[in-house]
Amino acid sequence: MIFNLQLITYVIGLSFLSGTCHAQGQAGLPTGGSDNTTNDRNSNGKLESTNLKVHLPSLTKIAVDIDNPKSDISGPVVFTQSFKFDESSGILNEWAQKEIWWKVYVPTAKEGELDDEKDLRFVMNCIIQGSSDSDTDQHTFKLFAQEPYLHPLEGDTWQSIINEANMGCPTGECVHKDGCEDLPMPRWDQMYLQEHIPALEDESGDGDGNEKEWYKKLSGR
């Protein structure tokens, strides 16, 4: 629950554990395999693993290795991150994290022809994380470059985003040669998620929220 890139004093027993990630398809997106949700627990009722599905919009990429652009995952796609928890740990609310990067491109870029030299606007330093203290081992949310940045899907709620699984990008950099004054940097952390008062569409588990016109160009393609 803690983005370790910010000085946030909300402390929980936290473990930095190895995870696996991949991209998979969904309806209307490139096809791929499906995930099996086992919901396995240890003798204390603690989840043994968790699986996070992030709906990544077009004209953005997830970088799991910032030094290897060939490994970037381009939207629109469902990006999946899995974590395994320490079965020997007595901490029931154990958080596992992974550092990733989110690349956001200019709305005028051509999908499938993204040029980092010409089109890349922001490189955001992000944390994706999940908790072992949850009723389910699978969470799904949609990622946006405007507030409130995350929208719950498939039965998740804003409370599960706060308490069970989420993503935050507390720091980032404008890398475009012409600057970024026309588009605000999509920057948020755990404290933002906790303090945000969700609108009805944020809580529904299905809505996209009210998008700004510039982001409609970005996410609606």
CA separation for the pair 209, 199 (Å, rounded): 8
Higher pLDDT, 104 or 25: 104
CA distance 76 to 56: 5
Q: Tell me what the mean pLDDT of segment 34-63 comes to.
A: 79
The more confidently predicted of residues 46 and 84 is: 84
The stretch 42-64 carries a mean pLDDT of 89
Instruction: Fill in the DSSP letter of residue 100.
Output: E
- Residues facing residue 124 across a β-bridge: 102, 172
Q: Which residue has the higher pLDDT, 92 or 111?
A: 111
Terminal alpha carbon distance of the chain: 32
pTM: 0.77
Q: Comparing 26-40, 111-125, 193-207, which segment has the lowest mean pLDDT? A: 26-40
Predicted local distance difference test score (pLDDT) of residue 88 = 72
Lowest mean pLDDT among 151-155, 163-167, 217-221: 217-221
Rounded CA gap, 106 and 114, in Å? 9
Question: Which range is least confidently modeled, 6-20, 115-129, 199-213?
Answer: 6-20
Q: Residue 100's pLDDT is what?
A: 98
Q: Give the full edge-to-edge strand order of the sheet including 150-153.
A: 19-24, 77-84, 49-56, 138-143, 150-153
Domain edges within the chain: 19-219
The pLDDT score that the predictor gives to residue 92 is 72
Percentage helix, strand, coil for the chain under 3-state DSSP, each rounded to 5: 10, 35, 55
